[in-house]
C-alpha cells in the first residue's frame, strides 16, 4: 500500500546545511526545515557546538516580529533540524524585479531590518552574516532576519569564532577590519553590512562587488576615497572624526594590513565620499548621508555599534505606512527579471590599477 508522504522541495543550501520546504500536516501549512550537518568535514564536537549555538540563539530571539520564527527542532541522525516559518522570498529576489524598489518601500524594509538587528544587538549578539539573502519577506508584509549560523555573542572568545566564509555574495558586505583579518569582531560589522544593503536597494546593484578579498578592498578604498589614514593629515585636521571616514590608526596592527600594500595614493580621491556616493546613487536621499557617515567609518571603534543608532536618524522621520500594502502594490506592478550582471564603475579599472600594488620582498 502506497504511503502518502508530504512533498519536500529543496529551497536552499549552504556549506554545512540545507533548507527544505515541507508540508506540515500538524500545522496545515508549509514550513521550512533547516538541516544542519553536525559531523561535516571532521569538525566533530565543534560542528555540534555550532549547531546548538544557532538553536540557542534562535530560541532566544525568534519571538521578535523581525526575526524568523522557530517552531520546533529535532535531531535526525547527524543533523539538527530546525523547523522555521516559510517566507515567500528573500530581499535578493525582490531586488531582481523591474522596476527598482520605490523609495517608500526601501525605507519600510530598512526600518524593519534595523528593528530586528536592534533586538539582536540588545541581546548581546552579532549576526555576522547580514546580506540580502538573509532577509526574508512575505505577502503579509513581514520582514525578518534569518540564518544565525555565524552569529556569536559579543565578547565571545576569539578562538571560538571561526573565520567568516569567503563566498563572493558574503564578501560584498564585509567591513574593512574583517577583510584585513581582524581577530576581534564587534557588532559594528553588522552596521557596515546594513549600510551596504541600504545603498544596494537604492542603487539596484551591490555597492562594492569585489571578486576577491584584494579586489574588494581596492574597490572599497576607491569608493570612500583611499586607504586607511593611520596618521593625522595636516591639511584636513578637522575631518578626522567628521567628513573623512578613513581615519584608522590601528589598521596597521591587523594581520593582513602589510600583506596588501597598496600604494597609498593609488585610490585616493579629492572628491568627498558623500559627493561620490550621491553622484553614483541619485535616488539616495540627502538625509541618509549623516546616517551612513556613522556606518561607513573604517575604524570599528568609531563606527556605530548598535542598530538603534541608525534608527534614530532623520532618514526615518517620514517612514510611515503599511509595508504589506507597499509590498503588495510593488509586486502587482513589477515583474521578475533575470539577475543583472554586476557592474561596478570601478571594477574595470582594477586590472589597470594593479601596477599600484607592490610585490612583497
What are the pLDDT digits (tens) for 137-171? Answer: 998 999 999 999 999 998 664 545 555 555 545 89
Q: What is the pLDDT of residue 351?
A: 52
φ and ψ at residue 152, rounded to 5 degrees: -145, 155
Residue with cell 561535516: 40
Radius of gyration of the chain (CA): 21
Rounded to 5°, the CA angle 307-311-317 comes to: 170
State the burial class of residue 273 (Cβ atoms within 10 Å of its Cβ: 0-12, 13-18, 19+): buried
Catalytic one of 112, 129, 299, 344: 129
**The three cell numbers locating residue 99:** 522596476
Tens of pLDDT along 52-88? 999 999 999 999 999 999 999 999 888 899 999 999 9
Q: What is the pLDDT of residue 196?
A: 98
How many Cα atoms are found within 13 Å in the side-chain-facing hemisphere of 158?
A: 6
DSSP states of 26-60: TTTEEEEEEEEETTGGG-THHHHHHHHHHHHHHHH
pTM of the predicted protein model? 0.86
Torsion of CA 125, 59, 61, 85, to 10 degrees: 130
Q: State how far the alpha carbon of 129 is from the alpha carbons of 126, 166, 183, 281, in Å.
A: 9, 11, 16, 24
Q: Sorting pLDDT into bands at 50, 70 and 90, what band is 18?
A: confident
Cα–Cα distance measured from residue 209 to residue 171, given in angstroms and rounded to the nearest whole number: 8
Q: Which residues contact 317 (CB under 8 A, 6 or more apart)?
A: 287
Q: State how far the alpha carbon of 323 is from the alpha carbons of 103, 105, 110, 136, 280, in Å.
A: 12, 7, 11, 13, 27
φ and ψ at residue 261, rounded to 5 degrees: -80, 75
Cα–Cα distance measured from residue 111 to residue 41, given in angstroms and rounded to the nearest whole number: 39
* 8-85 matches 89-356 in fold: no
**The three cell numbers locating residue 119:** 533586538
Tens of pLDDT along 167-200? 545 899 999 999 999 988 999 999 999 999 999 9
Q: What is the pLDDT of residue 98?
A: 85
State the burial class of residue 21 (Cβ atoms within 10 Å of its Cβ: 0-12, 13-18, 19+): middle
**Which H or E element spans position 126?**
strand 125-126
Q: Nearest to residue 296, comparing CAs of 310, 286, 279?
A: 310
**Catalytic residue at 129?**
yes
Q: Nearest to residue 163, comparing CAs of 133, 80, 171, 155?
A: 171
Domain ranges of the chain: 8-85, 89-356
Q: Sorting pLDDT into bands at 50, 70 and 90, what band is 6?
A: low
- In this structure, the chain runs to a length of 361
**β-strand 335-336 against 97-98: which pairing, if any?**
antiparallel
Bond from prior residue into 99 cis (ω within 30 degrees of 0): yes
Tens of pLDDT along 306-341? 999 999 999 999 888 889 999 998 988 887 766 555
Nearest-10 crossing angle of helices 273-280, 288-295: 120
| Fold annotation for 8-85 | Phosphorylase Kinase; domain 1 (3.30.200)
**Which H or E element spans position 155?**
none
Cα–Cα distance measured from residue 196 to residue 98, given in angstroms and rounded to the nearest whole number: 21
| Fold annotation for 89-356 | Transferase(Phosphotransferase); domain 1 (1.10.510)
**The three cell numbers locating residue 125:** 549578539
Amino acid at each position: 500500500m502506497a504511503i502518502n508522504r508530504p512533498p519536500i522541495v529543496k529551497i536552499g543550501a549552504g556549506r554545512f546545511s540545507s533548507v527544505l520546504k515541507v508540508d506540515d500536516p500538524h500545522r496545515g501549512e508549509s514550513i521550512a526545515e533547516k538541516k544542519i550537518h553536525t559531523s561535516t568535514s571532521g569538525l566533530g564536537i565543534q560542528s555540534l557546538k555550532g549547531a546548538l549555538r544557532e538553536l540557542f540563539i534562535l530560541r532566544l530571539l525568534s519571538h521578535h516580529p523581525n526575526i524568523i520564527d522557530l517552531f520546533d527542532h529535532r535531531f535526525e541522525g547527524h543533523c539538527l533540524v530546525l523547523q522555521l516559518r516559510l517566507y515567500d522570498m528573500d530581499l535578493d529576489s525582490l531586488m531582481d524585479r523591474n522596476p527598482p524598489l520605490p523609495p517608500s518601500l526601501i525605507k519600510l524594509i530598512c526600518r524593519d531590518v534595523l528593528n530586528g538587528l536592534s533586538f539582536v544587538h540588545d541581546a548581546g549578539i552579532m549576526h555576522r552574516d547580514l546580506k540580502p539573502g538573509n532577509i526574508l519577506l512575505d505577502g503579509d508584509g513581514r520582514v525578518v532576519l534569518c540564518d544565525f549560523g555565524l552569529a556569536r555573542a559579543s565578547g565571545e572568545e576569539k578562538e571560538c569564532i571561526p573565520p567568516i566564509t569567503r563566498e563572493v555574495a558574503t564578501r560584498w558586505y564585509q567591513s574593512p577590519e574583517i577583510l584585513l583579518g581582524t581577530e576581534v569582531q564587534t557588532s559594528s560589522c553588522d552596521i557596515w553590512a546594513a549600510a551596504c544593503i541600504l545603498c544596494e536597494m537604492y542603487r539596484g546593484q551591490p555597492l562594492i562587488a569585489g571578486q576577491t578579498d584584494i579586489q574588494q578592498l581596492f574597490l572599497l578604498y576607491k569608493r570612500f576615497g583611499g586607504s586607511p589614514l593611520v596618521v593625522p593629515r595636516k591639511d584636513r585636521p578637522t575631518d578626522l572624526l567628521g567628513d573623512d571616514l578613513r581615519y584608522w590608526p590601528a589598521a596597521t596592527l591587523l594581520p593582513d594590513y602589510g600583506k596588501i600594500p597598496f600604494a597609498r595614493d593609488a585610490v585616493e580621491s579629492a572628491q568627498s565620499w558623500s559627493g561620490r556616493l550621491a553622484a553614483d546613487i541619485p535616488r539616495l536621499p540627502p538625509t541618509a548621508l549623516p546616517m551612513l557617515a556613522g556606518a561607513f567609518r573604517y575604524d570599528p571603534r568609531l563606527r556605530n555599534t548598535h542598530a538603534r543608532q541608525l534608527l534614530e536618524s532623520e532618514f526615518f522621520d517620514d517612514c510611515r505606512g503599511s509595508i504589506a500594502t507597499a509590498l503588495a502594490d510593488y509586486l502587482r506592478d513589477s515583474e521578475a527579471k533575470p539577475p543583472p550582471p554586476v557592474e561596478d564603475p570601478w571594477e574595470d579599472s582594477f586590472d589597470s590599477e594593479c601596477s599600484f600594488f607592490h610585490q612583497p620582498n
